[in-house]
Amino acid sequence: MSSTTRMRVGRYELGRTLGEGTFAKVKFARNLETGENVAIKILDKEKVLRHKIADQIKREISTMKLIRHPNVVRMFEVMASKTKIYIVLELVTGGELFDKIARQGRFKEDEARKYFQQLINAVDYCHSRGVYHRDLKPENLLLDSGGQLKVSDFGLSALPQQLQADGLLHTTCGTPNYVAPEVINNKGYDGAKADLWSCGVILFVLMAGYLPFDDSNLLSLYNKIFKADFTCPSWFSTNAKKLIKKILDPNPQTRITIAEILENEWFKKGYQPPRFETAEISLDDVNAVFSESGEAANFVVEQREERPAVMNAFELISTSQGLNLGVLFEKQMGHVKRETRFASRLSPERILSKIEEAAKPLGFKTEKQNYRMKMEGEKSGRKGHLAIATEVFEVAPSLNMVELRKTRGDTLEFHKFYKSISTGLNEIIWQAPGKIQAEGSS
C-alpha cells in the first residue's frame, strides 16, 4: 500500500479512527514516550464555537476530570492546538456490554449481578462528586480486557451548576427506552433518581436479554414507562424481581435509593466494594484548552508525516474483543453494530471497487480517496441520511483489514445495508483457516 499521512500531537502518535460523531472523532493513539496505548477524542474548535456547544464540551471535560474510579473510563489529560481540542482517554479494548448481550443473549443471574454491582459502584461515586450521567445504557458501558465494566460517554452528564432554583434538572435527554418517566414528563427531575431508573432498565436487559419497555410507537412507549408497565420473566429469582420493581417505580419519591440498594439482600451477594485512591482534582486548566493563549503544558503543535498505512499489532488488538483476534477474521454477517470489519486477501483497490459496486444499486453515492471511501444514502432514513466510512488497513503482506463504520444515520439501517451488500462481498471476505476447517467438518 502507498503511504498515508500520520499525525503526531505532542507526545502522541495518532492511528486509526475508533469512532466519530457530529462534533468529535475518537482515534487510537500511542504515547511515544511510554509506549502506552490510549484513545484521543478530537474536537474542532471552530465547529464547537459555531454551534454554541462550548459550555457543553467544557462540562464533559470537567466531568471526566472529576471522576477517578475503577469502573469509569479515565481521562488522562486535555490538550489544545490552534484549531483542535484533544482529550486523552483510557483505551478500553473489551468492547461494549451491548455487544456481549448481542452475542450470547441474556446473562445468568450471578453474572448480571456482578455487572450491576460495578455499575452501581460507578454511579454512586459519580453522584457523590455531583455528576449525573443521564444517558446510561449498555452501549455506554464498556468492558476492559479483564472483563471489568467501565462507564463511558459523559456528553449528556450534568454538573450541580445546571440545577435550577427548584433544585432539579430540566433538560430532557437520553435514550427513550432507558429514560425515567419524570424526565419525559418535563417538569424537572432529580438526576440521581433518573440515573437509578436507567440502572434498573439495564439490570432487566442483562437478565432478560430484552427491554422491559419497548414499542415502535413512541407515545405507546412513553405510556408504558409512565405506568411502569412491564413483566419480569419467570426465570428471574423472587428477590431480583422485588429489587427491579423497587427501582422501576414510576414515582421518584418512593423509588429505592442507591444507599438502600447497597443494603439489599440480592445485591449484596458476592459484593466487593471497589478499592481506589481518591485525589483532589483541579478544574483550573479546563478553560485554557479553549483559548489560543493556553498554558504551555496544554498547548500542542500538530505535526504531520508520511508513513505507510500499516495497522500494527497493538492497533489490531484494540479492534478485537479483548485479545481474541479471531473476531477480526470471521465472517461477521450476523453481528453488525455501529461498525463492522472483515479480512480480505484482495488488493485495496479491488476491495473498495467491490463494495462500491454492491452499494450503488442500493442508492448510495460514493467518494474514494486513497484507501478510504465515503458512502451516503440518497434517501433520508429515521435519523437523516445514512453515511458510512470505509477504510482498508494492511495487517500483513497480502492481508488487509476492511472496516465499515457508520458516521451518520440509524444503526439499524446500517445493519440492513450491510446485510444487503454482504452477498456481493462473499468473494472478497477471507476467513481464518481454523474457522474454514471447522465449517467444512461440521
Q: Which of 99, 124, 135, 190 is catalytic?
A: 135
135 catalytic, yes or no? yes
Question: What DSSP string describes 299-319?
Answer: B--EEEEEEE-B--HHHHHHH
Cα–Cα distance, 3 to 134 (Å, whole number): 43
Cβ(86)–Cβ(8) under 8 Å? Answer: no
Element (H, E) at 404: strand 399-408
| End-to-end Cα separation, the chain, in angstroms | 37
**Can you say how many angstroms the Cα of residue 59 is from the centroid of all Cα atoms in its chain?**
18
Q: Fill in the DSSP letter of residue 322.
A: T
- CA gap 183, 158 in Å, rounded: 13
E-strand stretches of 182-265: none
- 3-class SS of residue 199: helix
Distance CA 308, CA 292 (A): 32
State whether the Cα torsion 190-193-199-205 is positive or negative. Answer: negative
> Three-state DSSP class for 391?
strand
Q: Is 187 annotated as a binding residue?
A: no
Local structure of residue 321 (DSSP, 8 states): B
Report whether 245 contacts 24 (CB < 8 A): no
At residue 88, what are phi and psi to the nearest 5 degrees? -90, 120
Cell readout for 43 is 474536537
Q: Give all strands of the β-sheet with 3-9 in edge-to-edge order.
A: 75-80, 84-90, 37-44, 24-31, 12-20, 3-9, 302-308
Under 8 Å between Cβ of 334 and 101:
no
Is residue 177 classed exposed, middle or buried when 0-12, 13-18 and 19+ CB atoms within 10 A define those classes? middle
Contact call for residues 6 and 312 (beta carbons, < 8 A): no
Residue in the structure block whose three cell numbers are 454554541 = 52
Q: What is the DSSP letter of 414?
A: H
Which positions are catalytic? Answer: 135
Binding residues: 41
Binding positions for ATP: 41
